[in-house]
Structures are given as C-alpha cells and as structure tokens.
Amino acid sequence: MIEGFEHGYAEVNGTRLHYVTGGEGEPLVLMDGWPRTVHALREILPRLAQRFRVIAVDYRGQGASDKPAGGYDKRNMAKDVYELIRGLGYEQVNIAGGDIGAMVAYSFAANHPQATKKLAIWEGGPFSQIFIDFISSFPQPDQPNPWWYPLSQVDGLPVKLLAGRFRHIIDWSAEHLALHPERISEESRALYTAAYDAPEAVAAAFGVYRTFHQDLADNNSYPPLTMPVLGLGGQYVAVVQAMMEGKADDIRFGTIADSGHYIAEEQPAALAAELEKFFG
C-alpha cells in the first residue's frame, strides 16, 4: 500500500478495473506497462500527489484488474479508462503512461480528445511501422530482443510455457531492458511474479500484444493530436520520437538520463520532475 493512497475498483466497459487514488488538485491519470502493475509507480505517486489528484490504474489484464478473454485492442482499453474517469466524476484529465500504458494513454487522447487536457508518454507510444520493422529484424546478441511480440501471435503457447514460471520473465526483463536492474527490488520482482503467474494473467499479458495488427490500423486512422504532448525516453528516446512522428501538432521530447526501459523504477525522481513541470 502506498501511503496516502486508497484502493478502488470500478465496473466499466464490461470489465473491472483496479486503481489507486491520492492527492488533491487537477486529475492526473497514470499507467505503466508490461510486466508491471501500479506498484511500479509507487515512488512517483506521492510526489505527484502533492500537486494533483492522482489516479493510477491497472489497465485491463494488469495487476488486480480483471483479465477477460478479449478486448485488448488499445481503443477498447482506452474506453475502459474513459468510463473509469467519467464514473469518478471528471470531464477532463491529464493522462500519462509508460510502455503499454503509453499506448493506452495515446489511444485515450486520440479517441477522447475532449476529455484530454495534456498527454505524456514514456518508453512507448502508438504501435507503428517502426515497431514492425523492429520486430521483423534479426537482433544481434547485444541488442534488445522483442521475442514476446511473435510469441503473442501463437495461440495458447504463452500460457503453456509461462504459467507458474513467470519469475523467469521478470528477471530476464530486468537484466536485459533496465540499465539499473538492481533498482528493481526482490520485493517488486516477487509482486510482479504473483501478478502474472496464473494462466489467465499470462493469457491477458500476451493478449495485449496479440491485438497489435488492429492497433496499427486504428492508429493510422487517427488525426494528429492537438493537445500538448510530452514524449520521454531513457536509452530508447529515439524510438519514442519515431513512434510519435506525425501523431501530434504540439509535442516536445525529453531524455531521462541514466535509465533503461523502466524509468519509473530506475529514475523516479527525474520522471516525476518532468511530469510535474509539464502538467503543472
């Protein structure tokens, strides 16, 4: 439990979302990505709550939210979040996300622009041709290997391989995608393992990637965003820039120094400072 934050659940769009809330001020919605839960945001939430009413969400299939058999295209996942914030009484919010959370946040802004004041993303963005090229390449041993994308397209195999064995994925991702894997503690790794170990959790996690063909078609149909947008990255800031090319009229980019993919855990103070400055 994060001090000063309360847990909540909401029935939205045919599923149940888990979220935590804290602080006072303008509403700020936050989501992180795979293989994480709202726990990954634990160090930035108290700081942001000093200026904002923070709503940190486990998206569909993540953490303590429900894990239905389908509905993992990002347009539908964004609808989940939209119904959540409307149910909480907000007409318009600031929204931010990392990795898969960035994909959902972008889709939220694209499909519900009237409900989006500002958008910030880190280490992610709309699924686009650059990701297809990345997935299709044959990585060298010292390059990131996005093996989970093609695996997600093989029906049923992720569950057979990984249910009850997800600690291997948590450790592998920390060692290969973080610049500072030591900052992902044993407590956090155990929590993430518990969140993803069950068969339905594995199916949901890979279901998020299984929909990327639909996500690409949806993203290509959206006009450029008109609200202010911030794109942040650690080692992969150039990828964030490429993913957002032509996707927003008012966008700026920034680099979080000395961080790999898991910025919220590797450099939480720097990430919180960038979000405070942008949304403030």
CB 101 within 8 A of CB 263: no
- In CATH, what number does 6-279 get? 3.40.50.1820
From the number of C-beta atoms within 10 Å of its C-beta (0-12, 13-18, 19+), residue 173 rates as buried
pLDDT of 173 over the 90 cut:
yes
pLDDT digits 0-9 by tens, 174-212: 999 999 999 999 999 999 999 999 999 999 999 999 999
pLDDT digits 0-9 by tens, 1-11: 788 999 999 99
Measured distance CA(261)–CA(179) in Å, rounded: 8
pLDDT digits 0-9 by tens, 83-134: 999 999 999 999 999 999 999 999 999 999 999 999 999 999 998 887 777 7
Least confident span in 60-69, 147-156, 191-200, 256-265: 147-156
Residue 104: what pLDDT? 98
Q: Where are the domains of the chain?
A: 6-279
b/e map 92-106, b = 16+ CB within 10 Å: bbbbbbbbbbbbbbb
Residue 136: what pLDDT? 74
From the number of C-beta atoms within 10 Å of its C-beta (0-12, 13-18, 19+), residue 144 rates as middle
Residue 161: what pLDDT? 97
